[in-house]
Amino acid sequence: MSAPILAGAEPVSVKDGPIGIVVLHGYTGNPHSMRPLAAALAAAGHSVELPLLPGHGTSVEDLIPTRWSDWSSAAQAAYADLAGRCETVVVAGLSMGGSLALWLAERNPGVAGVVVVNPLVDPPAASFREMLRGMVDAGESSLPSIGSDIAQPGAVESAYGATPIEPLLSMFEAVDEIAAGLGDLRCPVLLFSSRSDHVVPPESGDLLVDRAGGPVERVWLERSFHVATLDYDAAELEACALAFVSRAAAPR
């Protein structure tokens, strides 16, 4: 039986507006990290779906048996729900949620725009993956926590205290496919990159800028770490995202 959902990890579903936005959280995190952005989008009159991805928001033991296929299926379902009743759909995500957002856009031509915050796009090195597989073979199941990489004192992300390895490896395999498909990504992209990120190197954003088939607007966040949605630059991030959604939804 799964543990109770952590405080702040409850999904968000707002179905009031003609513009829909799928909002996706990161690996080992939960909707808590994206709740302020989702609230800002909903307050602007948009329909918002912020799902709790499988294995997240309860106990780390629930995450261990899950894989990319579980999280991407949940993301696709959220997109299909909004696409069935909204005139325009934009997808947004933080970290792995950004990877999922790009995955959705590459596979769904109807996506009008993508908003990503420190997404994992650059496939990790083969040597790193081999090291992780060696750890699994040696009986180790997790790495230290990657949660709550935030510069602002007192700000804390609701995230697991460990990082399961095998689900992480499944994400890396998906990132291989995402990187290979960037040339087919035609919709506009708003990319937020933190200058100091201790989870995903800014070079991941460089790859997105270099390879995307459509326009990429990059906003550098000077004061925030990885979880920028809960950090010093959150207000700027929300304002830029709202303006981008309006532009992406404008008739062409």
pTM strictly above 0.85: yes
Residue 221 lies in a domain: yes
175: in domain? yes
> Residue 3's pLDDT is what?
67
- Is residue 28 within 8 A of residue 63, CB to CB? The reply is yes
Q: In angstroms, rounded to a whole number, what is the distance separating the alpha carbons of residues 80 and 89?
A: 10
What range does the domain containing 182 cover?
A: 12-249
Q: How much is the pLDDT for 250?
A: 82
Full pLDDT tens readout for the chain, 252 residues = 456 788 889 999 998 889 999 999 999 999 999 999 999 999 999 999 999 999 999 999 999 999 999 999 999 999 999 999 999 999 999 999 999 999 999 999 999 999 999 999 999 999 999 999 999 999 999 999 999 999 999 999 999 999 999 999 999 999 999 999 999 999 999 999 999 999 999 999 999 999 999 999 999 999 999 999 999 999 999 999 999 999 998 865
CATH number at residue 125: 3.40.50.1820
Determine, yes or no, domain membership for 2.
Answer: no
> CB neighbours (10 Å) of residue 83?
16
3-state DSSP call for residue 24? strand
The answer to whether residue 7 is domain-embedded is no
How many domains, the chain?
A: 1
Select from 70, 80, 104, 72 the least CA-distant residue to 20.
80
The pLDDT of residue 1: 43
Whether 141 and 164 have beta carbons less than 8 Å apart is answered as yes
Is position 3 within any domain?
Answer: no
pLDDT of residue 215: 97
Which are the catalytic amino acids?
95, 197, 226
Residue 5 lies in a domain: no
Asked whether residue 186 is domain-assigned, the answer is yes
Does residue 6 lie within any of the structural domains? Answer: no
